[in-house]
Structures are given as C-alpha cells and as structure tokens.
Amino acid sequence: MAAKLVISTLADVRQTMFMSGVTPFPRAHWETLAPAMKTQTRFHEIIAGHKPQGPFKHYWGQSERFVGADQPFSLWLALGVPFEVVETLPPEGWTFLTDFDARDLASHNTTPNARLVCRTSAANRPAQALALEESLPALFAFKRSICAELGNTPYLADNQPAVCAWYPTANATMVWNLSEEPRDLTLVHGPNKHLLRLGPLAAEIVKL
C-alpha cells in the first residue's frame, strides 16, 4: 500500500484513496502508511505539475486500448532509464510497443525511422522493430547496449530493478527501489554520480 503512494506520485495523482472494503485497516498499517504519506507529500511538492521525460517511450496505441485483455509491455520501466508516455511515435529514443500495437503498426507504420521495441511474442511487428524477451536479464542486456547513447540523461548504472523518473523542468530525478530488500544504487548524470541507499520499495528524490 505504501508502494501505491509512490506510483501515485510518479503519475502526478493529487489524491490517493485506500479502500479496505468492510474491514478497517489494522492499526499497525498506519505505522508504515503515515510516514510514507508524509514522504510522498514532500516529493510531490517538488515534482507536482512536472512531466517525466526520457529516452524510453511508453506508447499506448489505439489497438492496445481497444482490447479487453490488454497486455502492457512495461517491465522495461524497471531498468532505471528515464521514460515518458507518448501518444504518437517519436523519431528519437526507444518506443516500447505492446503486441497489439506492434501488429497494428506492422501494416501502417507512419514513422519508419522510429526505434521500436516489442516483445518476442509479437508475431506481427514493424520490420525495423527490435524484439526482446520480456525478462529482466534480456532487458538489462539491452540497457547495457544503449548506455553509451544516453548522453547527459540521468540513469541508474546498476542492474537492479528500479524506476528512474526524470523531471528536467524541476531539475530533479525520482528513484524507486522495486526490490523488497534494501539496495545501494548509483544514479549517473554526465560526469556526476549520486550514491543512494534505498530501503525496501522505498523512493528518493535527487536534485540535479
């Protein structure tokens, strides 16, 4: 439930509701939730109204949105490379496609120079699309292959599952440890390195 607050902050949701059905939360829940709420309030004061940007693009096309059994391709968010949500295919960065969107774009890709990435399960996909297995080892191997192209974009140097959201207009980056164990993570920003010690499922804001 505390991790849900991190997701709300990343998505710039201003109010988060916890629902427990007909049974009240155990009082012990608030030992975790109360400090987590204060922490996320502090984070949101820094990034509220700012949009995350990055070389990784989360494309959610019409074909994916119109199916009943949608299967988002989102494990790559755990690679620690900044991302943004896009409605059209951009010419820069790497755009990740669901199987349904890959099938749709295979027949009428209007941006042939876009760098597209899809799952190996996408039977029909644009000719230029890179097909990756949706697993952390395969995705981390992909990350290592493109790190040299990230330039001055901040990213996590570690091969540990963590989210890195970059808000250039706030001069800040939010890092979220996706592990249920404490992790030491290194945020690289050009020649600078920021060493972070994050608790289980904990997040932190780094001012750049």
What is the mean pLDDT for each group of 10 consecutive residues in the chain (208 residues)? 91 80 84 92 94 94 68 91 93 92 81 87 89 96 96 95 97 97 97 96 95
Residue 109: per-residue pLDDT: 64
Q: Are strands 155-156 and 183-189 parallel, antiparallel or unpaired?
A: antiparallel
Q: Left (φ > 0), alpha (ψ -120 to 50) or beta: where does 146 sit? A: alpha
Domain boundaries, the chain: 56-149
Spatial separation of the C-alpha atoms in residues 174 and 32, rounded to whole Å:
20
Residue 110: per-residue pLDDT: 66
Spatial separation of the C-alpha atoms in residues 143 and 160, rounded to whole Å:
12
**C-alpha neighbours within 13 Å on the C-beta side of residue 166:** 22
Number of H helices, E strands in the chain: 5, 11
Residue 54: per-residue pLDDT: 97
